[in-house]
């Protein structure tokens, strides 16, 4: 009976996903060899070097795959919350007993072996989200479910932020795509991206000016929704006049420009009180909605300065400013990205050839076997190599989404979308930061970056879904 069960699993495994995984892992191993190549250790099997050690991690990953596939698929849904609790405990433990590496206290160290719990916590959170969202009574119509999801995501995110590992904490934000697929309110989904855009604009545009723009947008929207109503026109014209006065004051009296934020905040308060008064006179609900929206957005804009200066680390602030073009310190915080772009750009169409990357060979790019492994691909394999890598990653993510859609089990479908979202975030942000399109947040490129924790975690994450997909015909809930 056990033999028949194993044959059934092997027959139903999606071998396309397995092939894509093996291709990416092999190419990652070869590029690690190239990134840290040493003339005195030319053998790719030399376990004293990173590429030799990576081969050991790959061999161990094969054993992990066998174990993950042989475990009954129901185990993952039954013990999802238990695994989530273990993951959270590991994250808390590393704060007490972990070792600090590159400013982040996120590693357990036993002799020469290091393990990063946050990589495995992603699996636990993905399973817990799938378990909760697949429950019979779950619906996005109930506010309490948003609260529960916030708790599931918030506990590990807060713990990881305490480890000074902002990049890994941001990974959990990708579950918004899973929530959207499962019926999340579209307005909330759009609002989340609007807040991100507003945060970026608050770093680029003067705070007072941005607050005036927000106020004008809210009152203009109110005018459009309510048409020719006299009360909405009063609000709109007053906001227009007030904005003009503030801008004129800043232009004519530069010495008052520093107080413009205070003036804008006073104006916000006056406008809000006016909307409340007019609401009681006219009983028009859009007035209250516009007031709440304006105050909320204005408060968010005003809080960005506090968040940026008091929550983010100094190196994170500098990297964001470099990304936005506010700083150009190519010898300081912008050095990594500057050298990475030189390496990728120098590769041209076909690249310089295997082991012939000068930026790589002469160690111009820091962390070139881990976070910046992609620059090795660009320099040695050129645009052609980059295209192949992107096609392989794209094919893997699309394949996972395709298989997730055909699942009869809600748990399996949600988990599949979680896997796809995590992989997409890692690939997009890692590649984006090497070419200057995303801030340097220190997250690995799946299956390429050196390290056992990353490789094993992504392997387990992927093959749990492969195992669930293999049982898709037997699961009907």
pTM summary value: 0.81
Q: Express the helix, strand and coil content of the chain in percent, nearest 5 each.
A: 75, 5, 25
- Looking at the DSSP bridge assignments, the partners of residue 107 are 99
Contact 73, 467 (CB under 8 A): yes
pLDDT value at position 192? 77
- Looking at the DSSP bridge assignments, the partners of residue 113 are 110
pLDDT digits (tens, 9 = 90+) for 432-468: 888 877 777 778 899 999 888 899 999 999 999 999 9
How far, rounded to the nearest angstrom, does the alpha carbon of residue 209 sit from its chain's CA centroid? Answer: 29
pLDDT digits (tens, 9 = 90+) for 3-19: 555 556 777 888 999 99
Contact 406, 472 (CB under 8 A): yes
Listing DSSP states for 47-68 in one string gives TTSHHHHHHHHHHHHHHHHHHH
What angle, 0 to 180 degrees and rounded to 10, lies between the N-to-C axes of helices 373-405 and 410-434? 160
Contact 444, 106 (CB under 8 A): no
Q: Which residues of the chain have pLDDT under 70?
A: 1-8, 102-104, 111-112, 204-208, 221-229, 246-247, 249-268, 278-279, 282-287, 315-316, 319-334, 361-363, 473-477
d(CA 434, CA 438): 8
pLDDT value at position 7? 59
Q: Which residues of 13-51 are buried (b: 16+ CB within 10 A; e: fewer)?
A: bbeebeebbebbbebbbbbbbbbbbeeeeeebebeebbb
């Amino acid at each position: 009976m056990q033999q028949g069960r194993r044959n059934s699993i092997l027959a139903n495994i999606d071998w396309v996903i397995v092939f894509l995984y093996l291709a990416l892992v092999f190419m990652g191993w070869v590029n690690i060899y190239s990134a840290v190549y040493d003339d005195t250790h030319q053998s790719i099997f030399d376990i004293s070097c990173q590429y030799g050690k990576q081969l050991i991690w790959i061999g161990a990953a094969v054993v992990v795959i066998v174990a993950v596939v042989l475990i009954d698929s129901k185990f993952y849904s039954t013990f999802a919350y238990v695994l989530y609790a273990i993951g959270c405990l590991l994250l808390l433990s590393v704060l007490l007993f972990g070792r600090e590496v590159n400013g982040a206290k996120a590693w357990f160290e036993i002799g020469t072996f290091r393990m990063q719990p946050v990589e495995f916590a992603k699996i636990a959170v993905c399973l817990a989200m799938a378990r909760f969202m697949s429950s019979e009574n779950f619906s996005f119509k109930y506010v309490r479910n948003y609260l529960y999801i916030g708790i599931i995501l918030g506990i590990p995110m807060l713990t990881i932020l305490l480890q000074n590992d902002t990049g890994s904490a941001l990974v959990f934000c990708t579950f918004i795509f899973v929530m959207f697929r499962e019926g999340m309110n579209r307005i909330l989904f759009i609002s989340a991206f609007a807040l991100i855009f507003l945060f970026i604009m608050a770093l680029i545009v003067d705070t007072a000016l941005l607050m005036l723009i927000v106020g004008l947008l809210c009152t203009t929207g109110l005018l459009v929704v309510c048409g020719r109503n006299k009360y909405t026109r009063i609000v709109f014209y007053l906001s227009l006049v007030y904005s003009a006065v503030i801008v004129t004051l800043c232009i004519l009296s530069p010495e008052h420009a520093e107080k413009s934020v205070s003036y804008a905040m006073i104006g916000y308060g006056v406008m809000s009180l006016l909307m409340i008064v007019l609401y009681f006179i006219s009983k028009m609900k859009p007035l209250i909605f516009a007031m709440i929206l304006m105050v909320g957005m204005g408060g968010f804009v005003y809080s960005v300065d506090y968040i940026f200066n008091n929550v983010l680390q100094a190196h994170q602030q500098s990297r964001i400013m470099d990304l936005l073009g506010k700083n150009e310190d190519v010898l300081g915080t912008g050095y990594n990205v500057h050298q990475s772009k030189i390496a990728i750009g120098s590769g041209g169409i076909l690249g310089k050839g295997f082991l012939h990357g000068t930026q790589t060979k002469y160690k111009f790019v820091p962390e070139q076997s881990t976070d910046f492994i992609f620059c090795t691909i660009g320099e040695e394999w050129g645009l052609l190599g980059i295209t192949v890598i992107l096609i392989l990653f794209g094919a893997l993510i699309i394949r996972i989404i395709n298989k997730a859609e055909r699942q009869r089990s809600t748990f399996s479908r949600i988990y599949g979308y979680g896997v796809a979202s995590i992989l997409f975030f890692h690939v997009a942000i890692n590649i984006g930061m090497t070419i200057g399109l995303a801030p340097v947040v220190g997250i690995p490129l799946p299956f390429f970056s050196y390290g056992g924790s990353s490789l094993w975690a992504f392997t387990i994450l992927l093959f749990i879904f492969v195992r669930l997909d293999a049982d898709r015909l037997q699961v009907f809930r």
